[in-house]
C-alpha cells in the first residue's frame, strides 16, 4: 500500500496513545493523512504526535474520555475548529476485564459497555455530520475475534464487541448514500498492552499460540496496514463487513 495517498484527508483516532491505535495512526500518517488523536493519556499521546509528525503531516493530541458526552462534543468542536473537516474516524478506544460473570461489579459492566460501545456511538453521532458531503468517508470500528467467538471470562467483552459489530453493519447501510464506508477490524491475539497479562504468562501465552494456526502473536503494524487499505480508494466497494485478522483462529 505504499502508493496509497491520503494527503488532504483528516483522520480522527480514539485510543491512539498506544497499541493498535498508535499503529493505525502512524500508518495513516505515513500515507499523508493529518491526524486528530484522542486519548485520556495526554503524555503518551504527545509522544505519538511527535512520531507521526516526522511524516510531515499535521498531528494534534486531544485529551478526552469518549464515554463522556460533553467531552466528546467539546473535543469534536476543537477538531473541527482546527481542521474544518473530517474524512476518517477510527473507533479504537476499548477495554477488557477478564473474570467470571459472578465476580463483575455493575460499575465494571458499565465501564466495558460505555468504553467499547457508547464511545463509538458518541463519536459517530457527533462526527458524522462533518463527514457528510465530501464524497468520501471511512469509519473503522475495532471489533474483535470476540465478536465472533466466546471464551470463558470474557462475557462482557464479547457482549460489547458483538454489539459494536451490529452497530457497524447497520451504520454502513445508513451512510452508504453519503459514500461513507463503515467496517470492522477484528484482531485476534496481538502484542499489545491489553494482552500483556496473557503474553507474560507462559501458560496463557501457550494456550493462545496452540490455537493460532500461524503460531505467533500478531504485530500491531499489521492492523495498521489493514486500516490503511480500508481507507484507500481501492477499498471503495467494501462496507458493512468485518475483517478478521487473527492468524487463522476463527477458521477452526
Residues involved in catalysis: 157
| Number of C-beta neighbours around residue 33 at 10 A | 27
**DSSP-assigned letters across all residues of the chain:** -TT---TT-EEEEESTTSHHHHHHHHHHHHTT-EEEEEES-HHHHHHHHHHHHTTS--EEEEE--TT-HHHHHHHHHHHHHHHS---EEEE-------S-GGG--HHHHHHHHIIIIIHHHHHHHHHHHHHTTSS-EEEEEE--GGGT---TT-HHHHHHHHHHHHHHHHHHHHHGGGTEEEEEEEE-SBSSGGGHHHHT-HHHHHHHHHT-TT-SPBPHHHHHHHHHHHHSGGGTT--S-EEEESTTGGG-
| Number of C-beta neighbours around residue 114 at 10 A | 18
Structure-block grid coordinates of residue 145:
475475534
Amino acid at each position: 500500500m505504499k502508493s496509497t495517498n491520503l494527503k488532504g484527508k483528516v483522520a480522527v483516532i480514539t485510543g491512539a496513545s498506544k497499541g493498535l491505535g498508535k499503529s493505525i495512526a502512524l500508518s495513516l500518517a505515513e500515507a499523508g493523512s493529518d491526524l486528530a488523536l484522542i486519548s485520556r493519556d495526554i503524555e503518551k499521546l504527545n509522544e505519538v504526535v511527535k512520531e507521526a509528525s516526522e511524516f510531515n503531516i499535521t498531528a494534534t493530541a486531544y485529551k478526552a474520555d469518549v464515554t463522556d458526552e460533553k467531552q466528546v462534543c467539546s473535543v469534536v468542536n476543537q477538531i473541527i475548529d482546527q481542521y474544518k473537516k473530517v474524512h476518517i474516524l477510527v473507533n479504537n478506544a476499548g477495554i477488557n476485564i477478564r473474570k467470571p460473570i459472578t465476580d463483575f461489579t455493575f460499575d465494571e459492566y458499565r465501564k466495558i459497555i460505555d468504553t467499547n460501545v457508547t464511545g463509538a456511538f458518541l463519536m459517530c453521532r457527533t462526527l458524522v455530520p462533518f463527514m457528510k458531503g465530501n464524497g468520501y468517508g471511512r469509519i473503522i470500528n475495532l471489533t474483535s475475534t470476540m465478536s465472533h467467538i466466546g471464551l470463558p471470562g470474557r462475557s462482557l467483552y464479547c457482549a460489547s464487541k458483538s454489539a459494536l459489530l451490529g452497530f457497524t453493519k447497520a451504520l454502513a447501510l445508513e451512510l452508504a448514500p453519503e459514500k461513507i464506508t463503515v467496517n470492522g477490524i477484528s484482531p485476534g491475539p496481538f502484542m499489545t498492552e491489553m494482552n500483556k497479562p496473557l503474553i507474560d504468562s507462559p501458560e496463557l501465552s501457550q494456550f493462545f499460540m496452540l490455537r493460532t494456526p500461524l503460531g505467533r502473536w500478531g504485530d500491531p503494524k499489521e492492523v495498521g496496514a489493514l486500516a490503511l487499505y480500508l481507507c484507500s480508494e481501492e477499498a471503495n466497494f467494501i462496507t458493512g463487513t468485518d475483517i478478521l485478522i487473527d492468524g487463522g483462529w476463527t477458521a477452526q
